[in-house]
Amino acid sequence: MSAEKGLEKNTQESLEDGQKNGKHKGLEGDASLQFLSKGSDLTKVKSNKWKKKRFYRLMDDGHTIWKETHKGFKKDHTFSIEEIDSVRLGRQSDGLRKYTDRAVEDRCFSIFFKGKRKNLDLIASTKEDTRKWVSGLEKIITNMHSLNSQQKSEHWIISCMKKADKNSDNRMNMKEVKRFLRQINMEVDDTYAAMLFQKCDTSRSGTLEGEEIKHFYDLLTHREEIDVIYKKYAKTGGEMSANDLLNFLQKEQREEASMNDALKLIDKYEPDPTAQQNKHMTKDGFLGYLTHLEGLILNPAHVGLYQDMRQPLTDYFISSSHNTYLMQDQLKGPSSTEAYIRALLKSCRCVELDCWDGPNGEPIIYHGYTLTSKVLFRDVIKAIKEYAFKASEYPVILSLENHCSVEQQKLMAHHMTSILGSALLTRPLGKEIPTCLPSPEELKGKILVKGKRLNKLDAAFNNNTEDADSVSEEDEAAEAKQEEQGTKTKKKKMKLAKELSDLVIYCKSVHFTSFEHSRKNQACYEMASFKESKAKNLAENSATEYMHHNMEKLSRIYPAGSRTDSSNYNPVTMWNSGCQIVALNFQTTGKEMDLNQGRFLPNGKSGYILKPEFMRNPDFQFNPNMITPGRWLKKKILHIMVISAQQLPKLNKDKAKSIVDPFVKVDIYGVPADRASSQTSYINDNGKCFNPSWNQNFQFIIQVPDLAMVRFLVEDYDAASHNDFIGQYTLPFTSMQNGYRHIPLLTKNGDVIPSAKLFVHVMVLDP
């Protein structure tokens, strides 16, 4: 079946027979989905007093959950399956743990949403109902993730059509067509809308249905730029032969492709059986290739784990979080185990725990000296145990900010050893005192504790027990307070429990005095934390020395205490000096977190990226601030043509006339010499086309490609106020593919926007 016929069938099925969940391929007749379609009563939990029964069911479109509110049907509440981030069985949310009894554990489940929407805590009537809800939702989510780009696009269009079809008669009159066009971000005048309608209404019935809707879809999604590219290379009876495709891959995509590669792409993406048999690729197959993995801007060879993971920990950039417990700002925002879960599921490998004495002898975590809420240390460790290795199997570092009494420190050590079990590293690897840190590969599946230690690591080998029971206290919370007040206080001594001290193996916290002092006195397993201003000063004024320090020791950087809104600093400056643990507020969206997500996008999203050789080898004298000849200097000329965008989302769904005026900005981040920015003109009211086009060229000179990052940002132009964010995508320069490439667009929170893409042409040349 061709892609065109497939869409026609899908469109008609979706608009005429929505009751069938057959659009979830492979799930036809599934008992869980049938149960969800009938629906059931669930108790929604908000607090100890607010627990109300509501009826939930999967709507006929197979992609929307509807909730009856028992308010005379004044307002029905719905949410799309696409909005769901995860579904978790049991009392895994803060709310369910706080407001429900353990006796209902097997009837509880939570729905967690993307972005900042609050999770939904529910209790089913029976254990079996809970299992069916969780199983059914997970199956639909998995099925939707497996859709290819074209299928997601079709699904989005169809769902918009259904929303516009107010009377649900599976037909679209002129008024509904105009409503639909606004929903898909397309503002047109009445004359143009009428022309489009009449062109498709071949039956002259005054409504569109069946194949007329398919024709309407074709007109909307027609991409002239794809026609031009395809026609240029389709030299065999109007179609691309395997040889034509190979020619395209080698000339335009600049790939070292073989005939076998071309044939594999035809087998994989060509929907027409006849063309596939003839080893040809139709335009549908060509578009399928361009919108899939091989046609995306991110090099497929870099998607999975591709770097050497057997080098010392010091040789890697490590995805790291600051104040991990916070969901919002650091003055009065809520603390939550959910914040740890979200960070770990984003492959964060270093999380922070600010530990304080709590009631009933139980240590708690919160931001000291503030009004942020508190969470039990024990509950955080349980969440870490559950989620540490779901996104990446490489080691997780627990960065302890310890303000607890000795007794509660002992309980912290007990909770970590008893809950984390064999995952917690409690002894050094090997039988000799280390001269360098182990590798991520050697520490796979292990959780490391970073904190104060009473003695050197030698004690772990010779069972030496020293008399010392206190260490100098250096904590970020106190420093932050001093910074706000502009004061300096003498360093205090703090009592440290031996049980907690002994759990610190490879990440012993020490004070940084100078590079010379570190060279003479600091062991490889001892590491310093630098507040952002100190690190920035060293990175700008002693970059080479800092880089050499980071070849042998770990450095952790944390945001200034004055950032009460939990904003972030630019991590690129710190990475340029070889700092490994560059901690950011994961709960705060923005350019800095986009850069962090882009930095750790390749290498299987493992949370570890191997630093370039010139940042690992002491023979090199690299200075990011003054580019001199060396292994790092690999000058490249980057040509980017921003061609078009597809299916940009509405920014304000409540406003019917809220149409975007999009423009694209391309930013280069890296060493100071490489930082640059260019942007397209904006398109007024998205033009009269579904896919806005720019066809604008930009050129950038890149001196140190190994450290360069490229960020594509799409914004809505506003002459009167700040431009609104639409979507972005950031990746390392060295992970980009040449040629015609699609770029998926991400939300502020880093989630993929269904169907929204940029289409560009990339060409990297040597001077």
Q: In this structure, are residues 477 and 388 in contact, taking their beta carbons and an 8 Å threshold?
A: no
Q: What distances in angstroms separate CA 397 from CA 313, 344, 463, one per listed residue? A: 11, 11, 24
What is the Cα–Cα distance from 197 to 185, expressed in whole angstroms? 17
Token output for 152? 């997601």
What is the Cα–Cα distance from 154 to 213, expressed in whole angstroms? 12
Place of tokens 């490889």: 524
Percent helix, strand, coil in the chain, to 5, is 35, 25, 40
Query: DSSP secondary-structure letter at 386?
Result: H
Q: In this structure, are residues 668 and 709 in contact, taking their beta carbons and an 8 Å threshold?
A: yes
CA-wise closest residue to 370 among 124, 564, 120: 564
Beta bridge partners of 763: 639
Q: In this structure, are residues 365 and 437 in contact, taking their beta carbons and an 8 Å threshold?
A: no
Binding site feature residues:
44-71, 323, 352, 354, 401, 450, 452, 529, 556, 659, 661, 716-718
Beta bridge partners of 84: 113
Dihedrals φ, ψ of 305, to 5°?
-70, 115
Q: Is 322 a catalytic residue?
A: yes
Q: What distances in angstroms separate CA 22 from CA 28, 276, 648, 730, one per listed residue? A: 5, 26, 28, 36
Q: Where are the alpha helices (DSSP H) in 375-470?
A: 377-387, 406-420, 458-462
Binding site feature residues for Ca(2+):
323, 352, 354, 401, 659, 661, 716-718
Q: What is the 3-state secondary structure (H, E, C) of 148-206?
A: CHHHHHHHHHHHHHHHHCCCCCCCECHHHHHHHHHHCCCCCCHHHHHHHHHHHCCCCCC
Which member of 280, 322, 742, 761 is catalytic? 322
Q: What distances in angstroms separate CA 15 from CA 23, 208, 742, one per listed residue? A: 12, 11, 29
The CA-to-CA distance between both ends of the chain, in Å, stands at 47
Which member of 155, 367, 742, 761 is catalytic? 367
Non-local (6+) Cβ contacts of 90 within 8 A are 96, 105, 106, 108, 109
CA-wise closest residue to 424 among 367, 357, 364, 505: 505
Q: In this structure, are residues 548 and 612 in contact, taking their beta carbons and an 8 Å threshold?
A: no
Q: How many CB atoms lie within 10 A of CB 336?
A: 24
Place of tokens 């603390």: 335
What is the Cα–Cα distance from 464 to 411, expressed in whole angstroms? 23
Q: Where are the alpha helices (DSSP H) in 421-497?
A: 458-462, 476-485
Residue 583 in 3-state DSSP?
A: strand
Note the Cα 395 to chain centre separation in Å: 19
Non-local (6+) Cβ contacts of 702 within 8 A are 635, 636, 637, 638, 668, 670, 674, 708, 733
Q: How many CB atoms lie within 10 A of CB 463?
A: 6
Binding site feature residues for substrate:
44-71, 450, 452, 529, 556
Q: Is 292 a catalytic residue?
A: no
Buried-state track 78-88, b at ≥16 Cβ within 10 A, e below 16 = eeebbebbbbb
Non-local (6+) Cβ contacts of 516 within 8 A are none
What is the Cα–Cα distance from 308 to 375, expressed in whole angstroms? 38
Determine the residue type at 110.
S
Catalytic (active-site) positions: 322, 367
